[in-house]
Amino acid sequence: MSVSRERSDGALAGLRVVDASTLFAGPLAAMHLGDMGADVVKVEHPRRPDPSRGHGAAKDGVNLWWKTLGRNKRAVTADLGSDGGRRVFLALAADADVVIENFRPGTLERWGLGYDELTTRNPGLVLARVSGFGQAGPYRTRPGFGTLAEAMSGFAAMTGEPDGPPTLPPFGLADGVASLATAFAIMVALRSRDATGQGQVVDVAIIEPILAMLGPQITRWDQLRTVQPRFGNRSVNNAPRNTYRTGDGQWVAVSTSAQSIAERVVRLVGRPDFIDQPWFADGARRARHADELDDAVGGWIAQRTRDEVVAAFEAAQAAVAPIYDAEDIVADPQFQALGTIHEIEDPELGPMKMQGPLFRLSGHDGVIAFPGRAHGADTDAVLGELGFGSEEIAALRAQGAV
């Protein structure tokens, strides 16, 4: 059964998005827009489904990552390198507000689907182009993935233990950050279109948004010719700041970014004498005495269970958080109060939980209308909406174009 295009359950209802991207920044950006009510059409090759359908864990042969990444997206197939697939894509673009793609620069142009062609019938179209290195420069045609952005942005160089190797995150961090930048850029371009009537091209290089998140490392290098070394879980800006093991074998994280919080922590752990030390007066100097502070805080925490530690910190109005896994997140009352975890009905696997939209609006909450759809599940319905007749759709199928 196909899914209807019409949605009136979000702030972006009426916005039409074509997601022709893969792995992972582009699809995540489209997911964010779909969560807020946009009608998103996911375009995949008819014989080579989106690779994310095969990423990560599966249940009964059904991929679980795709259920989240593909949510709120109607699934269509089209071979964009074929004449028939090109016709389908041009029709989709003519009916859309936004197209998101992440092919290597020049690929759409080679297929006759560049911005000039896409806007012939739709001058207000916003084309969001997501790539590893952007649309210009000597690296533009290199294969680009989030891992490379995490390496080149400086993230890996400053992450890890001081005597260990540069460390990569165990998930698509750079892609996730780039997805937020892409969604934001799309909304900026749409706001401009509201004023001018003209669409434009959005160029997101995955190496850039994560760079923006890493603080003033460029300015520091420019002005001081120094780079931030690796500190493990510690911080160069404050202490105590670390992860600590509790007496029942769990872990907590402590932060003291504010001076008042640092004072509350050392009072709580029985070392108020630290406060009178000259080096305790600001975060940077405290960080140079991290060994002493970690010994005091870690020793106190090690004598108590995680629940006891969290309760004591809360009573002292000091900053602590238990280090959670997915089971803890689902059970936590704060996430429950926020409605962070949504349960939806999946036609293949039944009731299914997943994290919900990124934020809440007082007028329109985001909605997960349906989880990721089967490959090509909505092709006939969407082409029918675009004016393709049943015989024409059958001919496109016979050609392998959809």
Active site residues: 175
Query: To which H or E segment does residue 90 belong?
Result: helix 83-94
DSSP three-state, residue 64: coil
Q: Is there a contact between 29 and 42 (Cβ–Cβ < 8 Å)?
A: no
Residues 6+ apart with CB under 8 A from 45: 77, 78, 79, 80
Residues 6+ apart with CB under 8 A from 115: 108, 125, 127, 201
Full DSSP string of 211-263:
HHHT-SHHHHHHHH-------TT--SS-SS-EEEE-TTS-EEEE---SHHHHH
DSSP three-state, residue 157: helix
CB atoms near residue 225 (< 10 Å): 7
**Given strand 16-20, what is the order of strands in its sheet?**
73-77, 39-44, 16-20, 98-101, 126-131, 201-205
CB atoms near residue 168 (< 10 Å): 16
DSSP three-state, residue 51: helix
Full DSSP string of 273-308:
GGGGSGGGGSHHHHHTTHHHHHHHHHHHHHTS-HHH
- Side-chain-side CA neighbours of 108 within 13 Å: the count stands at 23
CA angle, corner 350, sides to 44 and 380, nearest 5? Answer: 30
**Closest alpha carbon to 260 in 279, 244, 275:** 275
* CA 43/CA 402 separation, integer angstroms: 10
